[in-house]
Amino acid sequence: MSAPDRRELLRGLAGAATIALAPGVTLHVFEAQARAPDQKVSAKTRWGMLIDVGKCGDGCTACVEACKTENGWGGGTRSRTDAQWIRALTVRDPKTKAAVTLPMMCQHCANPPCVDVCPTGASFRRADGIVLVDKHICIGCRYCVMACPYGARSFVHEAVTDPKPHAPRGKGTVESCTLCVHRIDAGHEPACAEACADRAGGAMLFGDLNDPDSEIAKRVVRYRTVKVRADLGCDPGVAYRNL
């Protein structure tokens, strides 16, 4: 099914939905009402994500690959210093040796330590809860890289060639997951969540935590979820289930 057909089919739908195309074949969609281009972001919305780790396959990197393609990072040869917006992390119980794989990226905290330490105001939290770096005023000091408890931020060490028009990237600045802010502003879900639903286990649910009718808000209430290092009080926007 081509993209315009799909949009036609889904016109009028809001929130996340799963549509049965044929027995056993489903199409996951996220179609939110896009803000008008001249409308400012507001605190009425808080974007967040619920990740069901139980649905993450061993060695699955669909979300990571989708993020690379969407935002134009990756492809470097220095794994220790290359930028990394999202990574598949395997955590193991030292006693039982039971292991789970989960995606780890910027947790879009309500109280982000990276914003606290930024000396120029380049690290900021947008009204709708997305934590971003304004690279126009980032001086590359990397305080935020040190402050982030989730290791979510990277420094760009080398010149970037041919970045994506919607995801500018430049040497000497810090970057991290933007929750695909360009897609959200256009009414779409982040690339990782879309790829996970289309090509992997459908573990990532994206939505507005402040909207009680949204699928994510309902599930966060219904199921027991974990926020990584909740003890730090950062109040992440990303919650994990079955972790």
Q: How far is CA 127 from CA 69, 192, 219, in A?
A: 27, 22, 23
Provide the CB-side half-sphere exposure for 17 (13 A, CA).
13
**Is the CB of 176 or the CB of 196 nearer to other proteins?**
176
Q: Is 185 exposed, middle or buried (0-12, 13-18, 19+ CB in 10 A)?
A: middle
Of the candidate residues 29, 131, 132, 220, the single one contacting other proteins (CB under 8 A):
132
Q: Is 2 near other proteins (CB under 8 A)? A: no
Q: How far is CA 225 from CA 60, 92, 178, 228, in A?
A: 22, 18, 23, 10
**Is the CB of 50 or the CB of 133 nearer to other proteins?**
133
Q: Is 235 exposed, middle or buried (0-12, 13-18, 19+ CB in 10 A)?
A: middle
State the minimum distance, in angstroms, from the CB of residue 173 to other proteins: 7
State the minimum distance, in angstroms, from the CB of residue 164 to other proteins: 6
State the minimum distance, in angstroms, from the CB of residue 122 to other proteins: 10
Give the contact letters, 144-173, x = binds to other proteins (CB under 8 A), - = no: ---------------xx-xxxxx-xxxx-x
Of the candidate residues 126, 183, 188, 241, the single one contacting other proteins (CB under 8 A):
126
- Looking only at Cα atoms, what is the longest distance across the chain? 55
Residues that bind other proteins (CB under 8 A): 35, 37-41, 124, 126-128, 132, 134-136, 159-160, 162-166, 168-171, 173, 181, 185
